[in-house]
Structure 1
């Protein structure tokens, strides 16, 4: 097992947040998240200036919101805080920002969200549980035992790709295209992550649009099915969408179904290895799996932030936010808020009220697929514990350099048989 630690291997350490003047503290630098140094920045901000004005060189001026209750207020008052034009901290450097319903306000947001939500409704999840379990079993049974392999690619990406292909109603052979487009969509200077250029990103998204335009044309005259594209083509609210709006909603649904679940699948293994006492507790009592899943989602916090723009002057945490100001809710900080969550820096799989976290957001933009994500994680752990006595992380995971997606690119593990 790895020693319990919050930190990662550091390359060039950034300044200690306590060594900086408070007005110079900017938690948005993507390198903080890749190296694990963001925790100390948010700890100081929660204690000293939870509603904090930042004049960021990289992303422009914004209000940084770091406490649970303040984040919940902003997220729950959509009439005071608009989601338009984007949900990430930065603005696109090129004139290409496809609209999507998560970055829309009511009533259009509500209309479009209602169109696709039946695909992840509880009744539909009951229909899919057997399929998801069969796929998990197939992947788990194919894993190498006793030799290192990359958990991220072999398990997390593979399983989320299979589920995404089902949600979109496309051939399983094309599932890795969805992963590729998700990675392209979330690789952007607007979140401090530039694995591709903006031109390459635009080309990848146009490829996505071309692929799904063909799928749209197949579905529009076919009988309705319970997949995202069929739902979009057959509903009056969305069947006449402009191509860019269609692309925006495709990206939203792909990223929402890919990055959050995929990184929680990896983050859970990592957290349990950091906390061997909790792993032992889980192995001894498999009934803790559902609660453990919620703790993983809090601990991991798949998406670090969401952005809003104030529509009016409003007071939050004793500060006056002016109409037009950019506001960034740091979910990753709210999930470690000592005022709301007891011992928030500890990973406790039998934590009371484990679902009291903000990884899924609040209000009208609360994650539409939260129950699907929980179900996929629950089934994965049920099958893993049935097959293996241990899942050993043998090297520190490699993380995405992004202030938005709390992601992993590689994590080597060794499985031990029962």
Structure 2
């Protein structure tokens, strides 16, 4: 079966041959039809052959919740494969990293606790005016009525500034964080890297750069930035080097890719749904509901993966110990049995927080409130300045089955 068949005719593929993991399906934004078929015909679906080996797809909201909240049966451990459909250890391109999102308790809980104060309510209150000032500076620098790339000029710039603040990273070099974030999830076919060896070399460069910051801060008074927190905590100060790099990658990608793609995705969604855009302009008070709807609609992380520690049953299917289980958040966020009119972008939903984009259970996104705050602030500042952010060309999407993102989105601003 050709790639064109995969993209164009999900209903003609024999069910047992349906493989929703092909990154091209996500880049061309056609994977939704494949997920709709699985939710209808085989909500817990076994794919025997894929580039990532055999795996189970869990595609409905409540089944995903069942897996996500049962960490005793379904492991995130890196040594067992980790948290993505691509195994974290062993196999081509594997970086052999460890990070707290790819750990089970008690080690997961201890390491997560070290960094969680940075996104506690009190610290978010301190961050809000800083992020707002930067959002204003970014927006005021943009041309009115001229085409530019929203991804580069707004989405990446705001989230990279925030990330640099969280790390207390050298300001003039902050775009290194953007590059390392992109490289961390890239494959040679994306064009971002030429080989897996190049990716490893760039990420080792990242690790040694941060080791320089670490060495400065471990010998200084503790400060409220992520590197100081990790360096001064008894739980993390003696991490092995590849675990140090793994946790860096987690914080960089988690703090950058997800929010930046939700910013871009929200602009696109409003342009694709002009009635909703008019509704927002007439009533900016709808922003608190629109923000979680953007995050549901975009689902910036398409999936998380677990490995079964014991035989288990999900949705009537028998999962064997050792099986790879993929929770497709993107599919669960379109589950009509749980979410009303899930294929519509509705900025005044009655229950907009009913979505899976942040995960559930012990691995629920630690920075979810920071992500929502950045989205809220950028939209509050946009609404103060512009009557419309108009998409003027086709978006270009990431070639990835994990990060649901954009590499380019041409827009014009209307005063």
Question: The TM-score by the shorter chain falls in which range?
Answer: over 0.9
**2:383 & 2:209 partners in 1: Cα distance?**
38
* 1:345 paired residue number: 343
User: Residues 324 and 11 of structure 1: is their aligned pair in 2 closer, same or farther, counting only changes over 3 Å?
Assistant: closer
Superposition pairs of residues 68-87 of structure 1, within 5 angstroms? 68-85=61-78, 86-87=82-83
Secondary structure at the aligned position of 2:54 is classed as strand
| Counterpart selection for 1:57 from 50, 53, 67 | 50
* 1:187 paired residue number: 186
Structure 1 residue 323 displacement after superposition: 0.6
**1:415 & 1:107 partners in 2: Cα distance?**
49
**2:50 & 2:277 partners in 1: Cα distance?**
42
**2:317 & 2:58 partners in 1: Cα distance?**
11
Q: Is the 8 A contact 2:151 2:406 kept in 1?
A: yes
Secondary structure at the aligned position of 2:327 is classed as strand
**1:392 & 1:119 partners in 2: Cα distance?**
35
Q: Is the 8 A contact 2:306 2:324 kept in 1?
A: yes
* 1:5 paired residue number: none
* 1:213 paired residue number: 211
* 2:18 paired residue number: 25
* 2:292 paired residue number: 294
* 1:410 paired residue number: 408
Unaligned regions of 5+ residues in structure 1, if any? Answer: 1-9
RMSD in angstroms over aligned alpha carbons?
1.3
Unaligned regions of 5+ residues in structure 2, if any? Answer: none
**1:305 & 1:194 partners in 2: Cα distance?**
22
**1:231 & 1:36 partners in 2: Cα distance?**
39
User: Residues 333 and 147 of structure 1: is their aligned pair in 2 closer, same or farther, counting only changes over 3 Å?
Assistant: same
Matched, 1:89 2:114: no
Structure 1 stretches of 4+ moved >4 Å = 10-13
Matched, 1:224 2:222: yes
**2:120 & 2:175 partners in 1: Cα distance?**
25
Structure 1 residue 225 displacement after superposition: 1.1
* 1:384 paired residue number: 382
* 1:34 paired residue number: 27
* 2:144 paired residue number: 145
**1:216 & 1:49 partners in 2: Cα distance?**
49
Structure 1 residue 224 displacement after superposition: 1.0
Structure 1 residue 73 displacement after superposition: 0.6
**1:273 & 1:148 partners in 2: Cα distance?**
15
**2:98 & 2:344 partners in 1: Cα distance?**
38
**1:205 & 1:88 partners in 2: Cα distance?**
18
Q: Is the 8 A contact 1:293 1:378 kept in 2?
A: yes
Q: Is the 8 A contact 2:21 2:50 kept in 1?
A: no
Q: Is the 8 A contact 2:19 2:50 kept in 1?
A: no
Q: Is the 8 A contact 1:187 1:195 kept in 2?
A: yes
Deviations 1:139-191 (A, max 9, x none): 011111100000000000000000000011112112100000000001037xx
Q: Is the 8 A contact 1:55 1:61 kept in 2?
A: yes
Secondary structure at the aligned position of 1:179 is classed as helix
What number of residue pairs does the alignment pair up? 406
Structure 1 residue 396 displacement after superposition: 1.1
* 1:158 paired residue number: 157
**2:267 & 2:49 partners in 1: Cα distance?**
35
Using the size of structure 1 for normalisation, the TM-score is 0.95
**2:6 & 2:37 partners in 1: Cα distance?**
17
Secondary structure at the aligned position of 2:300 is classed as coil
* 2:118 paired residue number: 119
